[in-house]
Amino acid sequence: MSRFLNRQYEKLEPYTPGEQPKTDGLIKLNTNENPYEPSPRARRVFCEEQVSKLMLYPDPEAAELVNAVADYYGLEKEQVIAGNGSDEILAFCFMAFKSPSDKVYFPEPSYGFYKVYSDVFLLKSNPIPLKEDLRIDPEKYKNLDGTIILANPNAPTGIALNLEDIEDILKTNESNLVIIDEAYVDFGAKSCVPFLRKYDNLLIVQTFSKSRSLAGARVGFAMGNKELIADLNRIKFSFNPYNLNRLSVQAAAAAIRDDEYFQKTRKKIIETRTWISAELEALGFTVLPSSANFIFVKSGSLSGKDYFTGLRERNILVRHFEKEPVSDFVRITIGKEEDMRTLLSVTKDLLTERN
């Protein structure tokens, strides 16, 4: 730490990203990327003609993408803002919005950045523990006195809330902003977008990193009423107006217009999830009911750490969190079927070695 660091950040604990291996040959099931390549329409954007325009700044409004998202969800373009991954959009939210109490409520465990951004922007984080079954307890989110942020489905559990519970949270928190992070919503949960017509305290954040196969392009977006989006634009234009590069804007716009490819890949991931969940259950695993492109599983005989390490030694990368109450679990991204078959056979070997 240098002597110049802002003293407020002396104790800041940064987010720890999942491992991004520098070598080939690993089966990568650790950061919930889509195993399928981006839509061919998105890929065509990276052509000589577009690359040759890179001496020009991108459109700071990312209008092509904002319009494509607004069309897709039946919203007005003033209800959408795009960012460099939904992480940036979340950062803008924590920068822009502050309740009188400074408090931010979110589930624990959930996406690690909620705590980190609370700390960066000097808000008071109030983690609310999950129930014993690792579900979010919606009762604990009623009539609060601060901003609420919920991932739906939650990560790392993959469990979704139902819309009635989210609506109750919106209704009983009229004076609080409720942010719903729908990073994984396309894999089986229901989106809150229809609530945007009814509730002006709702902001929805989504990403192109998961169901649209564009994690490497870094594109996310938020949807809300025009005032909320104008507030976020105020931050964006004060911080980094050119936050999205030219190619990513166009690739994401092309991806969201390619519904056929989206439906096809999404369906395959859901089918693979159903199949691998049943296979692991047959081997004695507890598999939480997932509405995401990952599963959160606990072996009947291997500790979370041992299962993670055993897979890692055999070139399969998954995610393990040391913290309680989830240290017995590992999170496995749903990959292509052949990769999940390898995972299954390695898992069988590990269980046999154990006995």
Q: How far apart are CA 272 and CA 344, in angstroms?
A: 12
Percentages of the chain per state (helix, strand, coil), in multiples of 5: 40, 15, 45
CA pair distance 210, 337, nearest whole angstrom: 17
Q: Which is nearer to ligand PMP, 253 or 302 (CB)?
A: 253
Distance of alpha carbon 216 from alpha carbon 262, whole angstroms? 17
Q: Does 280 bind ligand PMP (CB under 6 A)?
A: no
What secondary structure letter does DSSP report for 139? Answer: G
């169901």: which residue's tokens?
A: 211
Q: Which two tokens stand for residue 199?
A: 């509730």
Q: How far is the CB of 146 from ligand PMP (least distance, A)?
A: 20
Query: How many angstroms separate the CA atoms of 33 and 334, rounded?
Result: 9
- Minimum Å gap between C-beta 111 and ligand PMP is 4
Which residue stretch of 36-44, 84-92, 119-127, 297-305 sits at the interface with ligand PMP (rule: CB under 6 A)? Answer: 84-92
Question: What's the chain's length in residues?
Answer: 355
State how far the Cα of 158 lies from the Cα of 326, in Å rounded to an integer: 13
Q: Which residue is at the shortest CB distance from ligand PMP? A: 85
Q: How far is the CB of 112 from ligand PMP (least distance, A)?
A: 9
Instruction: Say whether 66 sits in a helix, a strand or coil.
Output: helix
| Spatial distance between the Cα atoms of 33 and 38, rounded to a whole number of angstroms | 11
Task: Tell me: does residue 158 bind ligand PMP (CB under 6 A).
Answer: no
Helix (H) or strand (E) holding 271: helix 259-282
Does 151 bind ligand PMP (CB under 6 A)? Our answer is yes
How many residues line the site for ligand PMP (CB under 6 A)?
A: 13
Nearer to ligand PMP, 87 or 339 (CB): 87
Q: Which of residues 28-67 bind ligand PMP (CB under 6 A)?
A: 32
CB-based contact 253:64 (threshold 8 Å): yes
Q: Write the interaction track for ligand PMP spanning residues 174-213; mark x where CB under 6 A is met and - where it is not.
A: -------x-x-----------------------x-x----
Q: Report the residue from 75, 136, 150, 155 that binds ligand PMP according to the rule CB under 6 A.
A: 155
Q: Does 85 sit near ligand PMP (CB under 6 A)?
A: yes
Instruction: Note whether 111 binds ligand PMP by CB under 6 A.
Output: yes
According to the binding rule CB under 6 A, does residue 220 interact with ligand PMP? yes
Q: Which residues bind ligand PMP (CB under 6 A)?
A: 32, 85-87, 111, 151, 155, 181, 183, 207, 209, 215, 220
